Amino acid sequence: MNNSPLSDNPLLVPWTTPDGIPPFAQIRPEHFAPAYARAFADHDAEIAAITGRTDPPDFDNTIAALELSGRALTRVEHVFHLLVGAHSNEALLAVERGISPQIAGHWNRIRTNAALFRRIDALMRQADTLGLDAEQKRVLERYHTSFRRAGAALDEAAKKRLAEIIERLAALGTAFSQDVLADEQAFALPFSGESELAGVPEFMREAMKSDARQRGLEGHVVTLSRSSIEPFLQFARRRDLREKVFRAFITRGDNNGATDNKAIIAEIVALRAERARLLGYADFAQYRLDDAMAKTPAAVRSLLDTVWVRARNKELADRDALQALVQEEGGNFALAPWDWRYYADKLRKRLCDVDEAAVKPYLDLEAMIDAAFYTAQRLFGLRFTPRPDVPVWHPDVRVWEVRGGDGGEIGLFFGDYFARPSKQSGAWMTPLREQEKLAGDIRPLIVNVCNFAKAPDGEPTLLSFDEARTLFHEFGHALHGLLSAVTYPKISGTNVTTDFVELPSQLYEHWLEQPDMLRRFARHYRTGAPMPEDLLQRLLAARNFNAGFATVEYLASAYVDLGFHSIGTPGAIDSTAFENEALKNLGMPDEIVMRHRPPHFGHIFSGGGYAAAYYSYMWSEVLDADAFEAFEETGDIFDPATARRLRETIYAAGGARDPADAYKAFRGRLPSADALLRKRGLEAT
């Protein structure tokens, strides 16, 4: 540990960098432990000052004071979690292992503070007589709900046990994610000859060379990044190599060694169930959904069941078509999971006449970033200007200043697009600073992290259509943070229920798929020529090709997540047996595996942000499909009045309203699943 004075710690002194950006070049792993210790102590003192007041509680001396507390801790946490996810090293991971239970314990002590809850509860009971505006009432309600759900009203024995559970869950979630990262970092399958690369197109080969260089290797490698695995499975002719890569991918965290996560899963599931029981719920799913838009597990299962039947029927028909293709080519084997993408690509070429190798040259990363920015300009009047002067955590990271149509500053947007060994897999949005007005006009600093395979120096990075969709998805999350226009941090930006938070991101994907957008931005990276009209139309016509597969692999994950968390007393659960039994009961086709198998299902076990809530993507998809139809009904996908209403009620409003009320304010009603089924091409299945 660093023994230098705290005044030398860049996390504990004012930042004089442009726009108050963390001075990343000065921050080292050893700075975090003392910074956390100081921030915890400062926050404890602030809470003690609130609870030690002798005057009656009011909104300002309790709720607003809570909102103004813990600023130093929030600043440290934002930096730390960004680096651990996007540019980690063993020293940072060691800090994470030690600090995560302390963070969980600190917040639990605050949220179960009896004196603090008495003040909040007293305010809640007289909320209608305090003269609060709508936003203040919502903030008060969210504090009361979060403290109640944290166990603030429990007796001391129950609080003590709850604290033990929460700290243990934090340690387990950290161990889970680090095990998955270790497995991903440890795997790099090299290829030495043309026979092993047969079928792999040139753009994929260049990406494989880049992956090799990042790991100090020669030649070509496949890594366990999804952006590396999926195209290899799609193009590689060598069935034995596809199987080897696929098995490595689906057994992350499931290798019966030091990084095996099955025992961690069993303990997490049991502890979550115990936590729910302590709080008066039959199981964790009921606890989690009680404060979600869905409200009940029954409502979630109703949606999943509605889509599952149609998706499975579509997948089975596609499976038979793929098996026929195998036999047609002389293959004497049953279609296996590592074959699906390979033969689906062949079938797509035959039925839709779409070859991804022909599409990717028109989907240059730079053009897709421009397309995302253009959409934001047309919808919301935003302008993006590069800011090369801003400190970043890796040379690949880029920064843009965001301004509104009136020229006023909105915030800064950071794009960290490329895969590297120091980065966790997947794609996400995270804030470095959230918007608020309570402590001044605080502008947001919003980050998108992706894992696209970086092209060699001097060459453009080309995306698949799915990767371009991911870019738009995460930028939709970024806009949710950037456009936030509330007073209080508690309800700023993406601080909404999990099954509502995906609406702004999934809705934004729709603009990528519009013909006029592709005509404008899908241009050949060498010639600048637009995508040929016939190819564009074939690409759009093929959007729902393989929808059965994509929907089934997602739904299976959502069902298994909900199943794990619907057990009241799990005991010593065998996660593999549970997974197998759940999939058997669903009638899961043998040719598909879950999109996220439990041993690497970070959404629900790495901290649990989506625990009992992985269904949220589909719940939000019901909303986004219906919401985009609001634009289509006007005849203008950039209709100004609809865009203004969308900004005011969804993107700018954060958590200022109940999600159902927010959606009705935009659309005038709640949606049904019909728009979702139409979007996925499943309505007649």
Helices (H), 58-111: 65-68, 71-86, 90-111
Paired strand residues for 442 = 436
| pLDDT at position 684 | 61
**pLDDT greater than 70 at residue 238:** yes
Report if residue 106 sits inside a domain.
Answer: yes
Tens digit of each residue's pLDDT (9 = 90 or more) over 145-190: 999 999 999 999 999 999 999 999 999 999 999 999 999 999 999 9
**Pairing state between β 383-386 and 428-433:** unpaired
| pLDDT at position 425 | 87
**pLDDT greater than 70 at residue 110:** yes
Q: Are residues 371 and 515 in the same domain?
A: yes
Q: Are residues 135 and 226 in the same domain?
A: no
Report if residue 245 sits inside a domain.
Answer: yes
Where is the domain boundary, 204, 224, 250? 250
Number of domains in the chain: 3
Tell which residue, 150, 218, 228, has the closest CA to residue 184: 228
DSSP string, 659-681: HHHHHHHHHSS---THHHHHHTT
Q: Are residues 215 and 148 in the same domain?
A: no
Which whole number is the average pLDDT over 439-448?
97
Q: Are residues 191 and 139 in the same domain?
A: no
- Among residues of the chain, what percentage have pLDDT more than 70? 99
DSSP SS3 for 220? strand
Q: Are residues 63 and 204 in the same domain?
A: no
- 543 contacts: CB under 8 Å, gap ≥ 6: 513, 681
Q: Are residues 241 and 385 in the same domain?
A: no
DSSP SS3 for 270? helix
How would residue 203 be classed by pLDDT, with cut points 50, 70 and 90?
confident
Q: Are residues 242 and 377 in the same domain?
A: no
Where is the domain boundary, 250, 268, 287? 250
| pLDDT at position 4 | 46
Report if residue 497 sits inside a domain.
Answer: yes
CA dihedral 574, 575, 579, 585 (to 10 degrees): 40
Tens digit of each residue's pLDDT (9 = 90 or more) over 250-274: 999 999 999 999 999 999 999 999 9
| pLDDT at position 389 | 95
For the chain, what is the total number of helices (H) and then of strands (E)?
27, 7
Token pair, residue 152, equals 């603030």
Residues 452 and 426 sit within 8 Å (Cβ to Cβ): no
Is residue 90 annotated as a catalytic residue, yes or no?
A: no
Q: Are residues 391 and 525 in the same domain?
A: yes
- 327 contacts: CB under 8 Å, gap ≥ 6: none
Report if residue 148 sits inside a domain.
Answer: yes
Q: Are residues 374 and 518 in the same domain?
A: yes
526, with CB counted inside 10 A (0-12, 13-18, 19+), is exposed
Report if residue 662 sits inside a domain.
Answer: no
What is the CATH classification number for the domain harbouring 423? Answer: 1.10.1370.40
Where is the domain boundary, 541, 573, 607? 541
**Residue 195 domain boundaries:** 187-250
Tens digit of each residue's pLDDT (9 = 90 or more) over 9-51: 999 999 999 999 999 999 999 999 999 999 999 999 999 999 9
**pLDDT greater than 80 at residue 3:** no
Q: What is the DSSP letter of 523?
A: B
Q: What is the DSSP letter of 629?
A: H
Mean pLDDT, all residues of the chain: 95
Tell which residue, 169, 222, 167, has the closest CA to residue 192: 222
Report if residue 343 sits inside a domain.
Answer: no
| pLDDT at position 6 | 65
The alpha carbon of 553 is separated from its chain's Cα centroid by a whole number of angstroms, namely 17
Tens digit of each residue's pLDDT (9 = 90 or more) over 655-665: 999 999 999 99
Tens digit of each residue's pLDDT (9 = 90 or more) over 296-346: 999 999 999 999 999 999 999 999 999 999 999 999 999 999 999 999 999
Alpha-carbon gap, residue 400 to 373, rounded angstroms: 10
Q: Are residues 26 and 135 in the same domain?
A: yes
Alpha-carbon gap, residue 588 to 580, rounded angstroms: 9
Tens digit of each residue's pLDDT (9 = 90 or more) over 505-547: 999 999 999 999 999 999 999 999 999 999 999 999 998 899 9
Alpha-carbon gap, residue 650 to 640, rounded angstroms: 15
**pLDDT greater than 70 at residue 455:** yes
Report if residue 39 sits inside a domain.
Answer: yes
| pLDDT at position 5 | 56
**pLDDT greater than 90 at residue 589:** yes
Alpha-carbon gap, residue 249 to 313, rounded angstroms: 27
Give a three-class secondary structure readout of 359-379: HHHHCEHHHHHHHHHHHHHHH
Which whole number is the average pLDDT over 581-606?
96
126, with CB counted inside 10 A (0-12, 13-18, 19+), is exposed
DSSP SS3 for 54? coil
Q: Are residues 529 and 416 in the same domain?
A: yes
Which of 96, 474, 509, 591 is catalytic? The answer is 474
**pLDDT greater than 80 at residue 2:** no
The 10 Å Cβ neighbour count of residue 617 is 21
Report if residue 513 sits inside a domain.
Answer: yes
pTM score: 0.92
C-alpha to C-alpha distances, 482 to 271, 371, 446, 560, nearest whole angstrom: 36, 17, 7, 34
Q: Are residues 387 and 533 in the same domain?
A: yes
